[in-house]
Amino acid sequence: MPPIIEIQGLRKTYRRSFRQPHNALDGLDLEVAAGQVHGFLGPNGSGKTTTLRALLGLIRVDGGTMRIFGEEVPQRLPQVVSRIGAVVESPQFFKHFSGRLTLQLLAESAGVPKDRVEAVLEQVGLRDAAKASVKGYSLGMRQRLAVAQALLKQPQLLILDEPANGLDPAGIHHMRELLQWLAHEQGVTVVVSSHLLSEVQQLCDSMTIVSRGRRIVDGSVAEIIAGHSGASLSVRFPDAASLPEAAEALTAAKPTVGAVVERDRLVVTGAPEAAWVTQTLAEAGIYLSELVTQTKNLESVFLELTGTAPAPGQTVQIGQSVAVPETAAPIEVPVTVANEAEEAQR
């Protein structure tokens, strides 16, 4: 099945008087498969919103190609827009209109049946607040209204920029269930740009991470996390005095294995498998009390990949993320660890 969204070599440069031009997109590639929830991640200023705006025809690009449902956009956007629901950046509405009227006007403008308005209000949990003017809505309620308007058309592709922004925990949970239901039960392809990495980790099937307007990595969420977790093991002993002896035993048995003492534990890397560690230590007469496989979460993988992990006493500045060489291919993700990583994710 061809990808729902295909972007290749997308470029966008903002030229400003008396200032250096800014490459918001620098040859970005993106592919989103059908029926998935796809996370689109990157540090602030990495080009996520610019990409989504370009995809929806809100801004012109300086190079590259974009396709949605196989149709080239923005040229053929009018032909496919009825199949796309989108919320880009923080949604704004006329303050004095009610939530219902806001949706009714949009539905009327596109010939969407009126009963869809009530259906989506119910779907996003705004049924009882539909009569109130948007002025009195909280940020979370506005976010729900924005998602409601994106759902009005019963889209086959849903593009949401920070959909969880401003939502309370119950709202985030509801939104996650709604989007997963749409993708997995209704076959809607969902693209979500978000900074809530724990949320993305729970919500998304696949993802693309970008930095400075280029793709760093893409693939299934589980594979990416697993691919960057490494085979790191944490080993503890009944007696901390055993730590140097255990490290020596492991490195002697296999020189490629790394064993570093960290406080009251030993961190082992490069071991073929956990059983080899227990066996080698037992043969050396050292008995362990705990052995844990260390798994990274999406946040640590993201920080590592984008180079935005904060150092003590330093603040990460906007645009201070990792630069991807122009010729670099996306990071390959090992497929074999998928099951293990999925389990870890659960």
Partner 1 sequence: MNLFKAELRRIVRRRLSLIFGILALAGVVVLSGFIWAISSQGPSEAELAEAQEMADDWNMENPDYVDCIGEEDYFEDNEFYEWALTDPEYEELSHQERCEAYVGGSRASDYVWTYTFDFESEGPSMLLGVVIVAGLIMMMLASSAIGAEWSSGGMSNLMVWHPNRMQVWGAKLGAALALCAVAMIALAALAFGLLFLTAAVRGEVGTLDGPWWEETLEVLLRTGVLALGMTTLGASLAMLGRHTAIAGGVIAGYLIIGDLIVQMASMAMPMPFPERLSLYTWVIAWISGRIELTDWSDMGMNPDVMVITWGDAGLLLGGIVLLFGALATWSFHRRDAA
Dist CA 321 CA 268 (whole Å): 29
The SS3 call for residue 12 is strand
Cα angle at 27 between 23 and 32, to 5 degrees? 120
28 binds partner 1 (CB under 8 A): no
63 binds partner 1 (CB under 8 A): no
Query: Measured from the CB atom, is 59 or 288 closer to partner 1?
Result: 59
49 binds partner 1 (CB under 8 A): no
Decide if 338 contacts 326 (C-beta within 8 A). no
106 binds partner 1 (CB under 8 A): yes
Query: Measured from the CB atom, is 82 or 202 closer to partner 1?
Result: 82
The SS3 call for residue 85 is strand
Strands 189-193 and 206-211: unpaired
Nearest distance from residue 318's CB to partner 1, in Å?
18
114 binds partner 1 (CB under 8 A): no
Nearest distance from residue 86's CB to partner 1, in Å?
5
> Which residue in 65, 110, 139, 304 binds partner 1 (CB under 8 A)?
110
Which residues, numbered 77-96, are part of the site for partner 1 (CB under 8 A)? Answer: 77-78, 81, 84, 86, 88-94, 96
108 binds partner 1 (CB under 8 A): yes
In sequence order, what are the residues at sequence separation of 6 or more whose Cβ sits closer than 8 angstroms to the Cβ of residue 177?
none
Which residues, numbered 115-134, are part of the site for partner 1 (CB under 8 A)? Answer: none
105 binds partner 1 (CB under 8 A): yes
Query: Measured from the CB atom, is 157 or 247 closer to partner 1?
Result: 157
156 binds partner 1 (CB under 8 A): no
Query: Measured from the CB atom, is 101 or 316 closer to partner 1?
Result: 101
The terminus-to-terminus CA distance of the chain in angstroms comes to 28
Nearest distance from residue 265's CB to partner 1, in Å?
51
> Which residue in 46, 51, 149, 193 binds partner 1 (CB under 8 A)?
149
Written as one string, the DSSP assignment of 22-79 is EEEEEEEEEEE-TT-EEEEE--TTSSHHHHHHHHTTSS--SEEEEEETTEEETTTHHH
The SS3 call for residue 236 is strand
Decide if 37 contacts 192 (C-beta within 8 A). yes
Decide if 237 contacts 284 (C-beta within 8 A). no
Nearest distance from residue 85's CB to partner 1, in Å?
9
Decide if 86 contacts 56 (C-beta within 8 A). yes
Nearest distance from residue 10's CB to partner 1, in Å?
14
Judged by the rule CB under 8 A, the positions of this chain that interact with partner 1 are 53, 56-60, 74, 77-78, 81, 84, 86, 88-94, 96-97, 101, 105-106, 108-111, 149
